[in-house]
């Protein structure tokens, strides 16, 4: 009973925060405009001896590499349980889940496009062998590099060499997109509770897991920006993630549910006096 009370209080507070109009309106600005743009400045204060300064850390290996999978599991479960418990319609639930399928397709497509761009614009470099003092080093003390023509990035990196090309940070793109989707899909829970919707422990637990996952993605994004700063590529990745979210949730999905559009979160689930918006987030 006590744990259930704690669960209700915590989820009510989180739902009220994520469902707040100001948070929904400005979350993307805080994420990409402030965090991604100024996050690399944290590298001036963090210690490079921290456990988070190693790419082999458990959080990077266990979550970042499969970030889209974690997001789909928790968000998909929450969206399905919420929609099905309200309308008992499998078709409606699948329509709301299709938003994740669309975003997943775009994620895979952009990964392929970014990989093609990096391969087309990059070159492979091989470090020179050790040389006597005063030779084999550049002005910054870095070893000179020999250009290797006709290599792909996969072959180059697999051979232990270095690849340099126009790059957009896929990690930053993924984390920003996942954060924005999580915030958008869970924002409907606040209006749902306000309207007196049924909210058992399973639904509240899934919502809480989504909130915790959103917090984890923001933390990992901060770690990447602070410990592995790559300002131009990370800024481009954040901008691409924000543009993808805006094109979907602020563009296409606003057209309303139809055979070619799944509609916005909450549409067809909540009954309000507002009429056309029908519980959709702003």
- Find out whether 186 and 214 touch, Cβ atoms under 8 Å: yes
- Find out whether 181 and 103 touch, Cβ atoms under 8 Å: yes
* Number of separate helices (H) and strands (E) present in the chain: 11, 3
Length of the chain: 282
Dihedral (CA of 106, 109, 115, 118) sign = negative
Q: What strands, in cross-sheet order, belong to the sheet with 123-127?
A: 145-148, 123-127, 162-164
Mean pLDDT, each 10-residue run in order, the chain (282 residues): 90 94 91 89 89 90 91 96 90 94 94 88 74 41 61 79 84 96 95 87 96 96 93 92 95 89 87 42 41
Distance CA 125, CA 138 (A): 14
What's the confidence (pLDDT) of residue 196?
85
Indicate the domain borders of the chain. 2-117+169-252, 123-130+140-165
CA-nearest of 171, 151, 177, 181 to 163 is 151
What's the confidence (pLDDT) of residue 63?
92
What's the confidence (pLDDT) of residue 271?
57
DSSP readout, 243-255?
Answer: HHHHHHHTTGGGG
What's the confidence (pLDDT) of residue 276?
37
Q: Which pairing describes strands 145-148 and 162-164: parallel, antiparallel, or unpaired?
A: unpaired
Considering the entire predicted model, what is its pTM?
A: 0.86
Angle ∠(274,203,254) on CA atoms, nearest 5: 35
Q: What six digits make up the tokens of 185?
A: 């899909």
Distance CA 197, CA 279 (A): 12
What's the confidence (pLDDT) of residue 273?
37
């Amino acid at each position: 009973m006590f744990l259930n009370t704690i669960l209700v209080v915590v989820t009510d507070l989180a739902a009220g925060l994520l469902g707040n109009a100001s948070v929904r309106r400005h979350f993307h600005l805080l994420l990409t405009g402030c965090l991604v743009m100024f996050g690399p400045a944290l590298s001036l204060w963090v210690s490079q001896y921290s456990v988070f300064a190693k790419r082999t850390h458990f959080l990077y290996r266990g979550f970042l590499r499969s970030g889209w999978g974690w997001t789909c599991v928790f968000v998909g479960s929450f969206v399905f349980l919420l929609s099905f418990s309200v309308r008992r319609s499998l078709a409606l639930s699948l329509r709301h889940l299709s938003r994740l399928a669309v975003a997943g397709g775009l994620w895979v497509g952009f990964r392929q496009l970014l990989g093609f761009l990096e391969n087309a614009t990059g070159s492979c470099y091989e470090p020179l062998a050790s040389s006597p003092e005063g030779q084999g080093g550049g002005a910054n003390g870095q070893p000179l590099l020999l250009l290797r023509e006709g290599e792909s990035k996969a072959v180059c990196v697999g051979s232990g060499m270095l690849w340099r090309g126009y790059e957009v940070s896929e990690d930053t793109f993924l984390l920003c997109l996942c954060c924005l989707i999580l915030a958008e899909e869970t924002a409907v829970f606040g209006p749902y509770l306000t309207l007196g919707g049924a909210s058992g422990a399973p639904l509240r637990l899934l919502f809480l897991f989504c909130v915790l996952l959103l917090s984890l993605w923001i933390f990992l994004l901060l770690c990447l920006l602070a410990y592995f700063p790559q300002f131009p590529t990370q800024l481009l990745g954040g901008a691409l993630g924000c543009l993808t979210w805006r094109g979907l949730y602020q563009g296409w999905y606003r057209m309303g549910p139809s055979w070619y559009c799944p509609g916005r979160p909450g549409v067809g689930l909540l009954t309000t006096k507002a009429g056309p918006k029908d519980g959709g987030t702003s």
